[in-house]
Amino acid sequence: MATGTDAGLLESPKPQSVYKHAILEQYIIQYATMTASKLTPKRCVLFDGFAGRGRFDTGEAGSAEHMMVAAQKRKGSTQIDLLLVEQAHKDYEILDKVADEYRSRGIRIDSHHDDCKNRLDEMLQLAKQASLFVFLDPCGAVLPMDSIRDVLAKRGTWPRTEVLLNFNAGLIRRAGGQFKKGQLDLGGVAQADRVCGGEWWRDVAIRAHEDSGGQNWESAAEAVAHEYARRLTAATPYGSVVAPVRRQVHQQPIYYLILLTSQPHGFWVFGVSAAKAREKWIDFLGPDPDERESMLWDTVADQLERERACAIQHITNNLRTLTADGKPKKAVDNVHAIFGALYGEARETAFTAALRELVKSGELEYVTKGSKPRDFVFRRVS
């Protein structure tokens, strides 16, 4: 049985799982298809190192089944092979039964009742000449930093590799509080040292906590998550996205999903996948109770429509700034300049709507219009 903040997480979907699974649902299939497209054979390996049961007791897909569904959907064009690891025996038995269903439909799924860290070599072996997606979603401590860095170093950038990991914000908040009070024997500080591969996080957490007026540890957890991602990717061709995952809109993040990618396409597709996932999560939560009190409208659709209008305005301003130098700009190479603070929140359609209006009004023009919005090249009309 899972404990702490993860109690019951494997039984029925909780808001934080809805967001995570919606990202996986959106993103994995696109990642696998795109990254395998130039390989012979077209093949991608998906690794779920802390797989859980694969499917909730209520029948909804967990992370592993989302991977299985992606493999089945693309079976005709891309070979997607899965490697799943789960340490808890009962959870593994359920996982393996779900896997059997998809094996019988011709999907290759290797599964192990084991500790994730024992299967990294096998993962690298299986993914030779294939692209690789590594999902690390533990309840507590993720793998040591060195073993993740080692995977990036051994894989290089071709065939493509990405890592999506769950970084526990609650652990950093708890450990930060314990460290400040000198409670080094309570376990939190030692666990955070292990996860972060050293003591560096202590200074980062204390500084952020004090800078925020010493009121809470939210900014500390955020600062540590960003520094963790920076250290994981330092001196590698990889960059990172740090996405907070909350139980409710106004609550502190439970964890951060951290994506490591070496490709602009990774940043673009992940951002728009996260935006769709966020809408699914908001829909799951229902209308924002704070907004409902002051608004005439109280449906989720109204909330999302207001957000969309703000996003179009925000992106319009960003596009004006981006194109001010008159040079052609390709969307995918300018993902942060385009989405800015709304990266991971604004939909791709907010970008296309903003661009369309700027072109219609004669401010911008298309240089080339690719088949996907991320391939659009545009510039300021001189």
Ligand X SMILES: C[S@@+](CC[C@H](N)C(=O)[O-])C[C@H]1O[C@@H](n2cnc3c(N)ncnc32)[C@H](O)[C@@H]1O
Distance CA 13, CA 104 (A): 26
Residue with Cβ nearer ligand X (68 or 130): 68
Residue with Cβ nearer ligand X (91 or 222): 91
Residue 175 is encoded by which pair of tokens? 């450990």
Q: In what order do the strands lie in the sheet containing 377-380?
A: 329-330, 377-380, 364-368
222 within 8 A of 244, measured Cβ to Cβ: yes
Between residue 110 and residue 169, which ones bind ligand X under the rule CB under 6 A? Answer: 115-116, 137-139
Residue with Cβ nearer ligand X (139 or 169): 139
Residue with Cβ nearer ligand X (139 or 232): 139
Distance CA 81, CA 72 (A): 10
Residue 312 is encoded by which pair of tokens? 């179009």
Site string for ligand X, 27-56 (x = CB under 6 A): -----------------------xxx----
Which ranges constitute the DSSP H helices of the chain? 15-36, 63-73, 89-103, 120-126, 145-155, 169-180, 188-196, 200-211, 218-233, 264-285, 289-294, 300-322, 335-339, 348-360
Residue with Cβ nearer ligand X (109 or 204): 109
Distance CA 233, CA 289 (A): 39
Distance CA 258, CA 221 (A): 13
Residue with Cβ nearer ligand X (87 or 183): 87
Q: How big is the site for ligand X, counted in residues (CB under 6 A)? A: 18
Torsion of CA 341, 346, 350, 354, to 10 degrees: 0
> Taking the complex as a whole, how short is the minimal distance between the CB of residue 25 and ligand X, in angstroms?
11
Phi and psi angles of residue 13, each rounded to the nearest 5 degrees, phi first: -65, 135
> Taking the complex as a whole, how short is the minimal distance between the CB of residue 330 and ligand X, in angstroms?
34
**Residue, CB closest to ligand X:** 62
Site string for ligand X, 59-98 (x = CB under 6 A): ---xx---------------------xxxx--x-------
> Taking the complex as a whole, how short is the minimal distance between the CB of residue 69 and ligand X, in angstroms?
13
Q: How many residues are listed for the chain in this entry?
A: 382
Between residue 305 and residue 344, which ones bind ligand X under the rule CB under 6 A? Answer: none
> Taking the complex as a whole, how short is the minimal distance between the CB of residue 117 and ligand X, in angstroms?
6
> Taking the complex as a whole, how short is the minimal distance between the CB of residue 114 and ligand X, in angstroms?
7
Distance CA 100, CA 98 (A): 5
> Taking the complex as a whole, how short is the minimal distance between the CB of residue 272 and ligand X, in angstroms?
21
Residue 174 is encoded by which pair of tokens? 């708890």
> Taking the complex as a whole, how short is the minimal distance between the CB of residue 352 and ligand X, in angstroms?
31
Is position 19 an interface residue for ligand X (rule: CB under 6 A)?
Answer: no
Footprint of ligand X (CB under 6 A): 6, 9, 20, 50-52, 62-63, 85-88, 91, 115-116, 137-139
